Amino acid sequence: MTGIEIIDLCRELASCSEEPGRTTRTFLSTPMHDVHRILGDRMRALGMQIWVDAAGNLYGLFGDPGAASLMIASHLDTVPGAGAFDGILGVVMGIALAATRPAIAIEVVGFSEEEGVRFGMPFIGSRALAGTLDSPALSRRDRNGVSVAEAIRSYGLDPKQIDAARISPNVIGYLEMHIEQGPVLDDARLPLAVVNCIVGQSRFSVTFEGQANHAGTTPMQLRQDALTAAAEWILKVEEVANLEPGLVATVGALGVSPNAGNVIPGDVRASLDIRHSSDDTRQRCAAALLNAAHAIASRRRLSASDDLLLDQPTVPMDAGLCDLLAKAVANAGLPVHRMASGAGHDAMILAPLVPSTMLFLRSPGGISHHPDESVTAGDVDAALHAGRLFIAELERSHA
């Protein structure tokens, strides 16, 4: 397949949706049957062996089932109102690389779920391969009261067979090809990047508690305004993130009480999302920002509290495979750019189990999780060329 043909197939698959007029495809929803059928037909035409495991992951194997294999994978689910390329581009590109009939076995996998939309729990597909899709996970329910296990059964699969979904010991490497979902490559006018790691992230809930009071009768110097304290702290978050190279920190959600135009806010709950490739840097900056929240609250005669919601360490990619991928990019006549991924991907679940690497493709305009998400045919062709050379390098290293 050419880059144009890959893009056309991705756009065709985007029409497999739960909602008319926009792309929404959650874990094992009805349109996933159509995605499996379309991709399965493509893989069968190449002589690949096809199956679906108990978590709804679609597999296509090119080569000897007992041979050492390279897994090329990404996810098939989407966020609500998605673009046509997040996740699924990597699966289609895996099929295109298998079509080159390499000497090494290729196992293409379309993970059933990565986004966490339906059950508030991401990576259902790749967790099955890691053996961490346990009973509590299978018992989680969506907004309609349907559990993960029930969704699996409704799709015609048996959740009792989840253990059989564990990754095969024949897999010697994992490659995920994915749009960047950010503006870095587009800003640098680069088509591709080798991903060194998936950054760690911390999430907190920070609460400022003051005193709600009448907006007209309470003098400014006597107020205990929780929202102005939160506003000062939010600017501190931005300041710290701008001063620390590679750090991103975001306050994306606020809950204001009583949330009335003529009442001084007495209570504000704010989110904090902080990410960096160095766990030490991330934790140091998070501690500084939490201390700042308490100091601001104390100075303004308020109280502050914080709760840790997530502490995800950085996941490094395999240095050897990253070097092979960088060599392939260079041999394709392209500049080698290495970068960290600020977003989570299935590669972070597979990396502890098997040597893993990722190749980013430029996202024009830095747009993703939106219908305007796109890729260029030239960048897709460049990624395919680099992918073929990477497979050749892998074949030589395991000869």
pLDDT category of residue 27 using cuts at 50, 70 and 90:
very high
Give the span between the Cα atoms of 68 and 169, in whole angstroms: 8
Nearest to 176 by CA among 9, 343, 41: 343
* pLDDT, the chain, mean: 97
Phi-psi label, residue 116: left if phi above 0, alpha if psi -120 to 50, beta otherwise: left
With 0.85 as the threshold, say if the pTM is over it: yes
pLDDT category of residue 381 using cuts at 50, 70 and 90:
very high
pLDDT(131) > 90:
yes
**What SS3 state is found at 372?**
coil
Residue 258 CB coordination number (10 Å):
10
Average pLDDT of the residues in 351-365 = 98
Q: Which domains does the chain have, with CATH numbers?
A: 3-198+314-397 (3.40.630.10), 200-312 (3.30.70.360)
- What confidence score (pLDDT) does residue 398 get? 79
**What SS3 state is found at 305?**
strand
- What confidence score (pLDDT) does residue 397 get? 84
213 burial (CB, 10 Å; 0-12 / 13-18 / 19+) is middle
List 311's β-bridge partners, or say none.
202
Q: Residues with Cβ < 8 Å from 93, sequence gap 6 or more?
A: 6, 72, 177, 380, 383, 384, 387
Give the span between the Cα atoms of 310 and 291, in whole angstroms: 18
**What SS3 state is found at 214?**
strand
Average pLDDT of the residues in 1-24 = 97
List 340's β-bridge partners, or say none.
197
pLDDT 10s digits, 178-219: 999 999 999 999 999 999 999 999 999 999 999 999 999 999
